[in-house]
């Protein structure tokens, strides 16, 4: 299995194969709208704007597993991200990211890093070949990841 074998559903309900991101550098993040780390949306958007032309895609996966900090509907999540942070990077449906019912994509990501998702805004960096390079915990601000992105772009 590789990251490209999984499918995910966008906030608008459209099923998307991760294979559509082949040859791109990915920063995959579980997000939440009512979290102390929510302001990281601004830095995630900045990374996306800065590096998109060079092949970076930030992929946001709202998650309500940690402190019920993402209670809204898909429409509410989309509106919140757009109005408050100007998010234009792809956002996906609410996703379980840990435990036995975690989405297979996140089971794969944590299996590749031997990591655990402990809170919202855990980040996974994936290279152009679909290899998971690094997992960052919530406290790592997105702009701190820029040097690692530069090496992959």
The whole-number pLDDT of residue 139 equals 97
Residue range 31-42: mean pLDDT, rounded? 97
- Model confidence pLDDT, tens digit, residues 54-84: 999 999 999 999 999 999 999 999 999 999 9
How many angstroms separate the Cα of 100 from the Cα of each of 24, 63, 97, 107, 119? 29, 15, 9, 9, 16
Q: What is the pLDDT of residues 4-32, one digit of tens each?
A: 999 999 999 999 999 999 999 999 999 99
Output the average pLDDT for the chain. 96
Which residue range forms the structural domain that includes residue 138?
Answer: 3-152
Active-site residue, selected from the candidate residues 3, 27, 35, 91: 35
| Bridge pairing between strands 56-62 and 7-9 | unpaired
Contact (Cβ atoms closer than 8 angstroms) between residue 30 and residue 61: yes
User: Of 39, 30, 40, 26, nearest to 120 (Cα)?
Assistant: 30
Helix axis angle for 40-51 and 74-85, nearest 10°, is 80
pLDDT tens-digit profile of 105-144?
999 999 999 789 999 999 999 999 999 999 999 999 999 9
| Long-range contacts formed by 52-57: CB under 8 A, 24+ apart | 54/153, 55/23, 55/24, 55/25, 55/128, 55/153, 56/24, 56/25, 56/26, 56/27, 56/149, 56/153, 57/21, 57/24, 57/25, 57/26, 57/27, 57/89, 57/90
Going 129 to 105 to 150 to 51, the CA torsion angle's sign is positive
- How many separate domains does the chain show? 1
Helix (H, G, I), strand (E, B) or coil at 106: helix
Which CATH number do you get for residue 73? 3.40.30.10
- Identify whether the C-beta of residue 32 lies closer than 8 Å to the C-beta of residue 60: no
Per-residue pLDDT band for 1 (boundaries 50, 70, 90) equals confident
35 assigned to active site: yes
Q: Which residues pair with 57 in a beta bridge?
A: 26
Nearest alpha-carbon partner for 113 in 136, 130, 97: 136
């Amino acid at each position: 299995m590789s990251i490209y074998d999984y499918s995910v559903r966008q906030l608008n309900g459209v099923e998307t194969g991760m294979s559509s991101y082949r040859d791109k550098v990915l920063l995959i993040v579980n997000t939440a709208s009512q979290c102390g780390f929510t302001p990281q949306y601004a830095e995630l958007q900045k990374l996306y704007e800065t590096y998109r032309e060079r092949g970076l895609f930030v992929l946001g996966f709202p998650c309500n597993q940690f402190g019920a900090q993402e209670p809204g509907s898909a429409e509410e999540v989309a509106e919140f991200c757009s109005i408050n942070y100007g998010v234009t990077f792809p956002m996906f449906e609410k996703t379980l990211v840990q435990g036995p019912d975690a989405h297979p994509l996140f089971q794969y990501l944590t299996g590749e890093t031997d990591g655990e998702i402990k809170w919202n805004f855990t980040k996974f960096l994936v290279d152009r070949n679909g290899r998971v390079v690094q997992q960052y915990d919530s406290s790592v601000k997105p702009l701190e990841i820029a040097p690692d992105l530069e090496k992959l772009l």
